[in-house]
Amino acid sequence: MSDKELAKIDSHIHREIKKWSEIKGENSWTMFKVIAELVDGFEILNKLDPCISIFGSARAKPDDVFYKLATEIASKCTEEGFGVITGGGPGIMEAANKGAYLQGGLSVGLNIDLPFEQFNNPYIEPAKILHHRYFFVRKVMFVKYAQAFIVLPGGFGTLDELFEVLTLIQTNKISKVPVILVGTEYWSGLKKWIGDVMLTQANNISSKDMDLLPITDNPDDVVSIIRNFYDGSDRLHSIKPNYEL
């Protein structure tokens, strides 16, 4: 073995190994908190009627066009016989809960502990507010019981929820259900990039994946997409939880 190779081995032997600056001994017990949160969610949501999850920014104000759209869309979903699930906070979430609540419909909030922005909006019955510590448990609740996903303009959290759902549908981990983007001007650039770059240039998705992302500004179109999915002439889709654990 050459001197160069020996020097390389010696440098590996004597390299400094990184150490944790802090690690808590109770981490393994966290699983019990996770289990408790899952059980609470299942116990509550299993007893409720089928719902539609509505995502969007916590920052939208009542005079925002998308706040008003979310309220109208949720109201129409309630008229169709669905409940509404949101993140339980302000902005688009509040608007959607408001639309369901004012129609006398089922209004559910999946709240999350955050350092800012998040608080319970007033349009949810206390018994239908779930309090989450963990984002991943909250996502399970959003996805398992939703018969469609309506996505209004939002930030990183909204995009996270959107692409989580798309991935689960694409990989057949959940049932195929409608995912509808509301806001043509807001979402068209993203959909164009997905088509131009992810699909055409990189071939990282298939052409049929583009069909998962209809875009509209019309609340009636949103309801029509959902109605046709479940009540269309082929009657291929039934209303049931999206997956079994």
pLDDT in tens, the chain (245 residues): 676 665 665 666 566 777 777 766 667 778 888 999 999 999 999 999 999 999 999 999 999 999 999 999 999 999 999 999 999 999 999 999 999 999 999 999 999 877 665 578 999 989 999 999 999 999 999 999 999 999 999 999 999 999 999 999 999 999 899 999 999 999 999 999 999 999 999 999 999 999 999 999 999 999 999 999 998 756 667 888 877 76
User: How far is the C-alpha of 91 from the C-alpha of 49, rounded, in Å?
Assistant: 24
DSSP 130: E
Q: What was the pLDDT predicted at 118?
A: 58
Q: How many domains does the chain have?
A: 1
In a domain, 99, yes or no: yes
User: How far is the C-alpha of 124 from the C-alpha of 90, rounded, in Å?
Assistant: 12
Domain range enclosing 171: 31-184+211-226
User: How far is the C-alpha of 222 from the C-alpha of 147, rounded, in Å?
Assistant: 13
Sequential DSSP letters for 177-217: --EEEE-HHHHHHHHHHIIIIIIIIT--S-GGGGGG--EES
Burial of 199 (0-12, 13-18, 19+ CB in 10 A): middle
In a domain, 200, yes or no: no
Residue 139 is inside which H or E element, if any? helix 135-144
Closest-CA residue to 95 (of 22, 150, 177): 150
In a domain, 23, yes or no: no
Q: What is the CATH number of the domain that holds 115?
A: 3.40.50.450
In a domain, 152, yes or no: yes
* Phi, psi at 156, each rounded to 5°: -60, -40
Q: What was the pLDDT predicted at 231?
A: 85
